[in-house]
Structure 1
Amino acid sequence: MTATPARPTMSAAAVLRDGDGRFLIVKPGYKDGWNLPGGGVDEGETPSQAARRELQEELGVEQEIGRLLISAFVQSTGRAHIYWVFDGGVLSEEQQAGIRLQESELTAYRFSAAEDIGPDEIPPALRPVWELALKALEGGDTTNLEVAM
């Protein structure tokens, strides 16, 4: 196992759904794969504040952030990152129609059932985070995950 960097980076995301129970995923323009909407935690803000800010900046969506679903520490070669994933709730039809992508960050978005999100669409290091977030959403528990790759 590689040494953990002294200061891991952090990001916060939200699991958002439509009225049919499908999940909102976004396509970043700067890396492969699809992600939950969210981004980096800035100095002086909490993870839930970061998730809410990122939804506004990247999607133009004002949404209350719910309970924490998962905290995950993921370490890979020379990098460590802490993910905070929250329940973002259900977006109204009006909110869905108002989604406006921050073009400098995102190239696409879609609502998909969990089974329609292919294994190659979520980056491998994030797949366990994604799966446990959905399990926590369904089961009502918060999960902690630590992965060293």
Structure 2
Amino acid sequence: MPESLPARPTVSAGAVFFDDQGRVLLVDPTYKQFWNLPGGGVDTGETPRAACLREVREELGLIVGVGALLVAAWTPAGPDGKLYFVFDGGVLDARQRDAIVLNPGELARHAFVDPDEADQMLSAPQRALMTEVVAARAAGHTRYVELAEAMHAR
């Protein structure tokens, strides 16, 4: 029997930000059909938190801290799966919201939307992830989830 090799999942990290009305920040990637949370791939040698901060800076032009890890999620995407790390970006004040400058090579637009509206803008896996993120933030603790079921829906 051949010796099995360890999995090498792709890894992404992002943040969930809110405005003072409780709306969530979503971004519209130029290279995807659906909206998403700000974030992206973790580079070799980079931690998920460092990748999150870099991606927020690159995509939104914001230099901000992020809080606790809200969700670590696994999906069966790709040959070895995909891991998502979503950090709590907190509430962006008016000055921070006004300072958002999108990277035009990656993002077409951004919007702060009510959670119900977000459901219509996200793919099935991202909707499932957002549900877990909101629940983790409300509960005040990190959640680990496997989003295999969501991968088979729209």
AA aligned to 1:145 is V
CA distance in 2, matches of 1:118, 1:19: 20
State TM-score, norm by structure 1. 0.90
CA distance in 1, matches of 2:60, 2:147: 29
Residues 1:77 and 1:13: Cα distance change in structure 2 (over 3 Å)? closer
The aligned runs of 1:1-149 (5 Å cut-off) are 6-76=7-77, 78=79, 80-119=81-120, 121-148=121-148, 149=151
- Which has a greater percent of helix? 2
Aligned-pair CA distance for 1:81 = 0.8
Contact between 2:8 and 2:80, CA under 8 Å: does it hold in 1?
no
SS in 1 for 2:62: coil
Alignment gaps of 5+ in structure 2: 1-5
CA distance in 2, matches of 1:142, 1:77: 25
AA aligned to 1:113 is D
Greater Cα shift, 35-44 or 68-77: 68-77
Alignment root-mean-square deviation, CA: 1.5
Greater Cα shift, 100-109 or 6-15: 6-15
Q: Which runs of 4+ in 1 moved over 4 A?
A: none
CA distance in 1, matches of 2:102, 2:52: 15
Alignment gaps of 5+ in structure 1: none
Residues 1:44 and 1:76: Cα distance change in structure 2 (over 3 Å)? closer
SS in 1 for 2:37: coil
- Which has a greater percent of strand? 1
SS in 1 for 2:44: coil
AA aligned to 1:127 is R
Aligned-pair CA distance for 1:115 = 1.5
1:94-148 residue CA offsets vs partner (Å, 9 max, x unmatched): 11111110011000100011122233x2111222111100110111121101133
What percent identity do the matched residue pairs reach? 43
AA aligned to 1:139 is A
State TM-score, norm by structure 2. 0.88
Aligned-pair CA distance for 1:77 = 6.3
CA distance in 2, matches of 1:6, 1:66: 28
AA aligned to 2:76 is Q
Give 2:3's aligned residue. none
